[in-house]
Copies of this chain bind each other. A is one copy, B any other.
Amino acid sequence: MSISPKSIIVTGASRGIGRATTLQLLQHFNSNVVAVARSGKDLNDLKLYVEKDLGLKGKLEIVEGDLTENKVVEQVVQKSLDTWGSLDGIIANAGVLGPGKIADTNVQDWKRGFDVNFFSVITLFQKAIPHLRNSKGRIITVSSGGAFNNYDGWGLYCTSKAGLLMLTNCIASEEPDIIALSILPGVVDTKMQQDVRENGSQYMRPDQHEKYVELYKGKKLVNPELPGYVMAALVSGGATKEMSGKFYDYNDEKLADFQKK
């Protein structure tokens, strides 16, 4: 059976989970990817790696920009349509930690954090929905344990991830032609974790901070390829209607068919 390539938008694609998911989509799922991030240099490095080292040409488009700007969101959606004629899926991964205790932060910082973690996702969904309806497309939002359990100093992150999880459920219910679900990628070896280890003691509860330091020391952090592979498998065709509106740990046994062997 030949499956025509799916065209997928990945946000926050310059590093970490977004970059890993992009690479899994290109290497293992024959997908086309529009990779968007704020760091043009990292995106250019990614494109060079994909074209030179992996020898995959014409499969990756990059957009340098801030998704909190409407025109960047429009550009990203249009890039997929113009280049490949369709939009089949979204990996909504971009997010910031924006740390600080409620008492010590400024509500303007919360609003800016929500612009990145939450409102830009709404804008992206709104621009993408007509095309995802056409393609019977798929949306995966990158969730977190922080959507369920609070951590001191992570109020912005936890509240915006709680909102994003609910937003995913809403999309799943409101849009019968689109499959939408959330994946919890575990504690992944990313720049965000490095920030937590190096700066988290300033605002986190000591036991909560120590947990992350110990995971790192014990080499227990998850390789981003693993949740990246699962999300790539799901967004490029694996996610079924029955999964829509649900959330899964990337290593949930229910997802065994989609996990890297």
Contacts and interface: CB of A to CB of B under 8 A. Distances in A.
Contact of A165 (B126, B130, B162): B162
A228 interface: no
Nearest to A167: B159
B107 A174 contact: no
A180 B50 CA distance: 50
A97 to B, nearest CB: 14
Interface string A151-165: 011110011101111
Contacts of A103: 125-126, 129-130, 174-175
Contacts of A174: 101-103, 152-153, 155
B102 A167 contact: yes
Q: Describe A's contact surface by its main secondary structure.
A: helix
A169 interface: yes
Contacts of A152: 170, 173-174
Interface of A: 101-103, 105, 107, 110-111, 114, 118-119, 122-123, 125-126, 129-130, 147, 150, 152-155, 158-160, 162-167, 169-171, 173-175, 205, 245
Given A102-B170, A107-B123, A159-B167, 20 more contacts: A102-B122, A102-B171, A102-B174, A103-B130, A110-B119, A111-B111, A118-B159, A150-B166, A150-B173, A150-B245, A152-B173, A152-B174, A155-B166, A155-B170, A158-B170, A159-B163, A159-B164, A162-B162, A163-B163, A173-B205
